[in-house]
Structure 1
Amino acid sequence: MIYLLIGLVLLAALVLLGNRFVTANPAALAGTVQTLAGWFLIALAAVFMLTGRIVLGIPLLGLGLGVLGFGSLSGLTGGYNPKKASGQRSRVRTAMVEMELDHDTGVMSGTVLAGGFQSRRLDDLNETELEAFWRETAQDAQSRQLVEAYLDRRLAGWREHFEPDGAERQGSAPGSGPMTDEEAYQILGLAPDAGDAEIRAAHRRLMLRVHPDQGGSGFLAAKINEAKDTLLRRH
C-alpha cells in the first residue's frame, strides 16, 4: 500500500511535468519542478510518519516545506534557505573619500569627504573634476589608491591622460594603525554578529571582484585581507 501511494504520487508528478514541459518557458518549468519536488518530499514524509518512522519523516517534512518556500518553517530543515542573500555592500573609508563596493555587481561608488569637492559623489563628477580631485589626493596615499581603483573601473585609459610622465605615481599605502573590528565588518559588508564561515565567504567573494590578477585594486585586496585576518583573530 505504501509503495502504491508513492507510485501514484510519482505518476501524477510525471504527467503534470510532461504537460508543463510542452508549453512552459524554462523559468516556469523550473518552478514546477521545485513545487513537485516539495510536494513529493511532503508525501514521502507522511508515509514515513504513518508507518511509525517519525525520526525520518520530520526532517523530510521540513525540507519539503522549505523547498516550497515556507521560510518560517525553515528551522525543521536545519537552516535550509533556497534564496541567496543579496544587496550586501562593503565600505572603505580614508581621510578624503569613502568608497562602497556592491557584492552582487562589483560596481564601485564613492563620496568625497574632504577637499574642493567635499560631499559630492564621485559618480556625479565629470572627467575634468575627477582629475582635479585625483590630484588633490597626492598627499594621502590611501585616498589616492581608492580613487585610482574607482577610476580603473569608470574611465578606461585615464592614466594616460592624468599621468603623462608617471611622475605622480605613489607606492604602497602606509599603515594607519591596527584596523578596528568595526572597520573590518564594514569592509567585508557584514553584520557584527557574523561568524567565521560568513567572514571567509565574504572574503572569497570580494577577492574575486578586486584581486589584482583580475584587474582589480591591490589596495582594496590588501584591505580585504586585513579585515578577514582582524576578525578571525578576534574569533
Structure 2
Amino acid sequence: MGILIALVALLLVLLGAVTIFVRADPAKMADGLKTLGPILLALAGAAIFAVGRSGLGGIMLVGAAAWYATMRMNRPAQPPPRKRSTVRTAALEMELDHKTGGLEGLVLAGRHEGKMLGAMNLAELQHLYRELSGDPESRQLLETYLDGRFPVWRKNAEPDSGEGLGVAPGAGAMTKEEAYKILGLEAGAAAADVRKAHRRLMQRLHPDIGGTSFLAARINEAKDVLLSNHN
C-alpha cells in the first residue's frame, strides 16, 4: 500500500512537471530543464525512502544533491549590472554608461517629447537645440551629447545658436539624492566610493567630451555635495 501511494505521488509530480513544461516560456524552459533532473531524482528517492527502502532512497537523495551542486558550480557567473549616472534637467534626462562612456538621453518636453536622442538625426537635434534657447541648463546638457556624437556640429550651427555655450547657471542647490544618481551610487555610499566613482567618470568624460562640459561640472558638483561632511 505504501509503495502504491508513493508511486501515485510521483506520478502526480511528473504530471505537474509536464504541465509546466507545456505552458513554460521557451526562453526560460531550457534553464528549468537543467534543474528538473535532480528534483525528480530527489522526489523518487524520497518516495522510495518513505516505503522502507532507506538504502536505495538515501543513495538517490545523495545523488540528487550532488547533481544539483555540480550544476550550481558549473553555472556561468552573472555579469554585474551596468552602472549608470543620470542627470536630469527640465527638458532632458541623460544617462552615462560607466563601462563604455556612452551617452543616451530622453526628451522630456517640447515638440520631440518622448524621443530618445539616439534615434534623432543631426537636423532634429539642431532643431531641439534651438527650441531650448530659453532653457540654458538643458541646452548645455544637449551640447555635451552633441559634442560626443557629432564633434563638428558647432561648425554647422546657425550664427545665433552660439548662445549658452558657456557654463549654464545652476537651477538651485543639488540634493544628495541627485548627487548619488549622478555618480551612479546607492544612497549612503562611503566617501572612498564617491571618490572612486568621480575619478572613473571623469576619466570616461575626458577623451570624449572634455572635462569642461556641463556633465563634467555636474559630476564635480555631485562629488562636492557628497563629500561636504567628510572634510
Using structure 1 for the length normalisation, give the TM-score: 0.60
Q: Identity of counterpart residues, as a percentage?
A: 55
Bigger-Rg structure (1/2)? 2
Query: Residues 122 and 214 of structure 1: is their aligned pair in 2 closer, same or farther, counting only changes over 3 Å?
Result: closer
Deviations 1:32-54 (A, max 9, x none): xxxxxxxxxxxxxxxxxxxxxxx
Aligned counterpart, 1:233: 228
State the 4+ residue runs in structure 1 displaced beyond 6 angstroms: none
1:210 paired residue number: 205
Q: Which amino acid in structure 2 is aligned with residue 184 of structure 1?
A: A
Shift of 1:147: 0.3
- Cα 1:214/1:130, change in 2 over 3 Å: closer
Letter matched to residue 144 of structure 1 = R
**Does 2:154 align with 1:159?**
yes
Cα offset, 1:215, TM superposition: 3.1
**Aligned AA (2:220):** N
Match of 1:123, SS state, is helix
Among 173, 176, 190, the alignment partner of 1:195 is: 190
TM normalised by structure 2 equals 0.61
> Please, what is the CA RMSD of the aligned residues?
2.6
* Secondary structure in structure 2 of the residue aligned to 1:138: coil
Contact 2:140–2:164 under 8 Å retained in 1: no
Give the deviation of 1:202 after TM superposition.
0.1
Contact 1:149 1:217 in 2 (8 A): no
Map of 2:123 onto structure 1: 128
Alignment-mate amino acid for residue 125 of structure 1: M
- 2:213, 2:162 → 1: CA distance? 20
Residues 179, 101 of structure 1: alpha-carbon distance in 2 compared, 3 angstrom cutoff: same
Distance 1:195 1:93, change over 3 A: same
In the alignment, is the contact (CA less than 8 A) between 1:90 and 1:189 conserved in 2?
A: yes
Instruction: Provide structure 1 residue ranges, at least 5 long, that are not aligned to the other structure.
Output: 1-69, 71-82
- Structure-2 change in CA distance of 1:234 and 1:84 (3 Å): farther
- What is the distance in 1 between the residues matched to 2:222 and 2:93? 16
Distance 1:149 1:196, change over 3 A: same
Q: 1:18 is matched with which residue? A: none
Which structure carries more relative contact order (alpha carbon 8 Å, separation 6+)?
2
2:150 is equivalent to residue 148 of structure 1: no
